[in-house]
Amino acid sequence: MKKVFGLMIALLLIPLFQNAYAHFGLVIPSDSMVMQNDNRTLRVIFAFSHPFERVGMDLLKPEVHLHTGNQSQDLSGGLTHFRFFNRTAWETAYKVKKPGVYWFVMTPQPYWEPAEDCYIIHYTKTIVTAFGDDEGWDRELGLKTEIVPLSKPFGLYTGNVFQGIVKLDGKEVPFAEVEVEFLNRDGKSKAPTEYMVTQTIKADKNGVFTYAAPETGWWGFAALNEADYRIKHGEEMKDVELGAVLWVRFHEWNK
């Protein structure tokens, strides 16, 4: 009888493990380094998903801003929706006209996650450099929470070490937990076990984390913290998970 009961519990737990994927906001441009002979019109995707397992969630229309130099431009009005991992996502086209570093930033509407009994807000960004100008790649944008890069967030080879500082309200977050996932766009990558889908690292006492990407492509870093406020859901006030998400592309070494 005990064996039967144990088996029933195990079977009930299987779906929980299967659905316990990490959430990631996505900001993915068609190119991270625009050179003179490249296509100068970027297609930028904005989505919300479990990127390695290719499981999408519907994303309500977000706010999207472009930061370059000392200027900020609202791109939200130019968003069009499409399907990403079979769910609602958004995209825009942006033509790069001059040298510089371009920060694409998405601020989504709060996402209710019943499995975690909380709201999720992922402040998500990525960086594009153009025509040889790479000044300001380590800029802090002043978001509610963000990852400030210590390594250039472009021009990275697969296997390079990437470092960043986790910040919340402009302050470093000691020992912040950072989830890491690969954007398995074509579905060809397979994890040996469930433990390998999302890798988790911790920042040091200064909020600095370090990671070396083992595969070519886009990697997402999500530093998670609980907000100092709550949002009402129905008749109850619920916790809010704040995510500082940064997407970085690693390139294959060509001999």
pLDDT tens profile 107-149:
999 999 999 999 999 999 999 999 999 999 999 999 999 999 9
Q: Position of tokens 């009994």? A: 117
Q: Given a cut of 80, is residue 92 above it in pLDDT?
A: yes
In the chain, % of residues over pLDDT 70: 91
Q: What is the mean pLDDT of the chain?
A: 92
pTM over 0.85: yes
Backbone angles phi, psi at 238, to 5 degrees: -120, 155
Which position has the higher pLDDT, 9 or 52?
Answer: 52
Q: Could you tell me the two tokens for 221?
A: 């870093």
SS3 4: helix
Type of residue at 239: D
Type of residue at 66: L
Q: Given a cut of 70, is residue 8 above it in pLDDT?
A: no
- The CA distance from 202 to 209, in Å, is 6
Contact 243, 123 (CB under 8 A): yes
Burial 140-168 (b: 16+ CB within 10 A, else e): eeebebbbbbebbbbebebebebebbbbb
Contact 213, 91 (CB under 8 A): no
Q: Given a cut of 80, is residue 2 above it in pLDDT?
A: no
> Could you report the per-residue pLDDT of 161-192, keeping only the tens digit for each?
999 999 999 999 999 999 999 999 999 999 99
Q: Given a cut of 80, is residue 242 above it in pLDDT?
A: yes
Task: State the average pLDDT over residues 1-9.
Answer: 45
pLDDT in the model for residue 146:
98
Q: Given a cut of 60, is residue 12 above it in pLDDT?
A: no
Q: Given a cut of 60, is residue 52 above it in pLDDT?
A: yes
- The CA distance from 184 to 50, in Å, is 9
Confidence of residue 70 (pLDDT cuts 50, 70, 90): confident
Which has the closest alpha carbon to 88: 120, 111, 65, 122? 111
> Could you report the per-residue pLDDT of 218-234, keeping only the tens digit for each?
999 999 999 999 999 99
Which has the closest alpha carbon to 178: 195, 197, 157, 200? 200
Q: Position of tokens 């050179």? A: 35
Confidence of residue 22 (pLDDT cuts 50, 70, 90): confident
